[in-house]
Structure 1
Amino acid sequence: MATLAVLRHDEGVRLDPDRLVALYSDLGEAGAEQVVCRAMEELAGRLTEIQRFADDGDVAAMARSARLLAKVAEQIGMLTFARVAGDVLRATAAGDRTAQAATLARLVRIGDRSLNAVWDLRDMTI
């Protein structure tokens, strides 16, 4: 009888708190809060959009959204999220549909964890 293996995807996320501190230092608390909130909304929307484009087979639109997602994530210190979005872009550019699907699934997992991590970090005193 075959044994079923269960894979657990428990990967940590990497945030650069120095980028958030720099935002707060440059823009003040109110300005930084606005920037971070807008970025978080943008990232959540882009993540949903990327999934929809992938389901529809619109590779060009998916790549465009992944590129924008990577830029925004990097700006607010979500390094892992930005890197995995880049991985999705590379798999898409290579035309590797299997790698694209795998990296997209990883992007969703990392995205959820990254968004939660930034919200948790914002709750702490900066």
Structure 2
Amino acid sequence: MPTDFPSAARLHRPSEYAAALKGRRIARGALFIVSGPRQSEPGPARLGLVVPKRHAPLAVTRNAIKRVIREAFRLRRAGLPDGDLVFRLVSRPAPASLTVLKRQVREEADALLGRIAKC
């Protein structure tokens, strides 16, 4: 099923994150930078998330951001190029309700994934 999100679609080891973060910056938005390896790896796209406490101090905020990005990735995974993608939160979101934050994160994630899919 192309819309599932199995364990094989996620990065698990620190070495996998390190390889993707050392690579090139693929896309940038107001909140996130998406990094990937220098060379495309065989196999389907995989997702890694870095949401530091300094940019999202509340656990509920960090978890909501991760959930929204995972869902956006899950729906677009089939159209993405092979290789690992790491979404890294690089700026603190503006104070807003959780609903508004989720909408903002989803719009940016969809835009970034759309740009990556065109590459």
Higher helix share: 1
Higher relative contact order (CA 8 A, sep 6+): 2
User: How does the TM-score come out when normalised to structure 2?
Assistant: 0.29
Higher strand share: 2
